[in-house]
């Protein structure tokens, strides 16, 4: 199972033997792709998986509508690639291509977010919402659960309660500060405007997780302007001192 299909999924497959063909040039072991939103970062890689190999795409109705509305995704032949709609807060078995159970379940849950940039209406900033537009995923094998939240605009009491005491959480680490991209001359929008909470600050990720007793905390979806990517930066030291890890290509963990 793959969580989101990012634009660089081909590179990820090439660097990860377990994702590569096992018995033939197109025998992909990827049985399912779980989508947590309709952003380009989450869905563009689906086009790389158009090799007429069976797998399932699991997502909310709203995210599936994004795929349905764009005919380019019809390259994923519907008779081969199943599009499975997942209801919020309902544990859903992750299927194998032959219909057998994988032993995993995924539960999608709403987190504060916004519509993808390319779906914004001109002239007005979209409101943050907590619907099936932007979701997190809890993946469980019945013994341990991993939480995956690559995009989140704010920590709510409900989200904090859900994550409290978790064995492992991958969480949105896009920006260190809200105005980071503006100050770096990389764009006109703040992190909040893009639907991301900052890692630092009184309302940031480090502060929000301080009392949640999450055993393993890993930042991902990190923008290239974020100084935590530099191993010798003071921001990286602050993250480490707070008990966080910075995700990297090829990272593996066992729960």
Q: Give the pLDDT of residue 28.
A: 80
Q: Are 1-102 and 144-255 the same fold in CATH?
A: yes
Q: Does residue 86 register a pLDDT over 80?
A: yes
- Residue 68: the pLDDT is 97
pLDDT at 197 over 80: yes
24 vs 16, which has greater pLDDT?
16
* 75 pLDDT tier (thresholds 50, 70, 90): very high
**pLDDT above 90 (res 125):** no
Q: What mean pLDDT do residues 14-26 have?
A: 82
Q: Which residues touch 232 (CB under 8 Å, ≥6 apart)?
A: none
Stretch 166-192: mean pLDDT = 95
Rounded average pLDDT over 83-105: 90
Query: Which CATH code of 1.20.120.420, 3.60.15.10, 3.20.20.70, 3.40.605.10 fits the domain covering 144-255?
Result: 3.60.15.10
Encode pLDDT of 241-255 as tens digits: 999 999 999 898 888
Mean pLDDT over residues 184-202, rounded? 94
Both structure tokens of 127: 């409101």
Q: What is the mean pLDDT of the chain?
A: 94
pLDDT above 80 (res 26):
no
Reported as a pLDDT band with limits 50, 70 and 90, residue 209 is very high
Give the start-to-end residue ranges of the domains of the chain.
1-102, 144-255
The mean per-residue pLDDT over the stretch 101-127 comes to: 90
Q: Which helix (H) or strand (E) holds 206?
A: helix 205-209
**pLDDT exceeds 90 at position 52:** no
**51 vs 110, higher pLDDT:** 110
Long-range pairs, 237-245, Cβ under 8 A, ≥24:
238/200, 238/206, 239/199, 239/206, 242/206, 242/209, 242/210, 243/217, 244/206, 244/209, 244/217, 244/218, 244/219, 245/216, 245/217, 245/218, 245/219
Tens-digit pLDDT profile for residues 153-164: 999 999 999 999
Most confident of 20-29, 180-189, 230-239: 230-239
User: What is the distance between the alpha carbons of residues 80 and 115, in angstroms, rounded to a whole number?
Assistant: 29
What is the enclosing helix (H) or strand (E) of 71? none
Question: Which of 72-81, 118-127, 200-209 is predicted least confidently?
Answer: 118-127
Class of domain 1-102: alpha beta
């Amino acid at each position: 199972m793959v969580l989101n299909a990012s634009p660089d999924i081909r590179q990820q497959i090439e660097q990860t033997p377990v994702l590569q063909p096992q018995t033939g040039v197109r025998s992909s072991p990827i049985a399912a792709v779980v989508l947590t939103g309709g952003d380009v970062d989450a869905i563009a890689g689906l086009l790389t998986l158009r090799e007429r190999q069976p797998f399932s795409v699991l997502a909310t109705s709203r995210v599936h509508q994004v795929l349905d509305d764009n005919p380019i995704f019809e390259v994923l032949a519907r008779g081969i690639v199943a599009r499975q709609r997942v209801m919020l807060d309902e544990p859903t078995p992750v299927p194998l291509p032959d219909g057998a159970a994988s032993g995993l379940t995924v539960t999608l849950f709403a987190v504060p977010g916004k519509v993808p940039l390319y779906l914004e209406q001109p002239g007005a900033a979209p409101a943050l919402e907590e619907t099936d537009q932007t979701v997190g995923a809890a993946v469980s094998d019945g013994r341990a659960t991993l939480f995956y939240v690559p995009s989140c605009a704010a920590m709510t009491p409900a989200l904090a309660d859900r994550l409290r005491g978790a064995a492992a959480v991958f969480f949105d680490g896009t920006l260190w500060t809200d105005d980071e991209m503006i100050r770096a001359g990389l764009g006109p929008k703040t992190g909040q405007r893009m639907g991301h909470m900052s890692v630092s600050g009184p309302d940031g990720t480090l502060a929000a997780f301080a009392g949640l007793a999450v055993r393993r905390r890993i930042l991902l979806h990190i923008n290239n302007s974020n100084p935590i990517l530099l191993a010798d930066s003071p921001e990286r030291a602050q993250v480490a001192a707070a008990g966080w890890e910075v995700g990297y290509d090829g990272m593996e963990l066992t729960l």
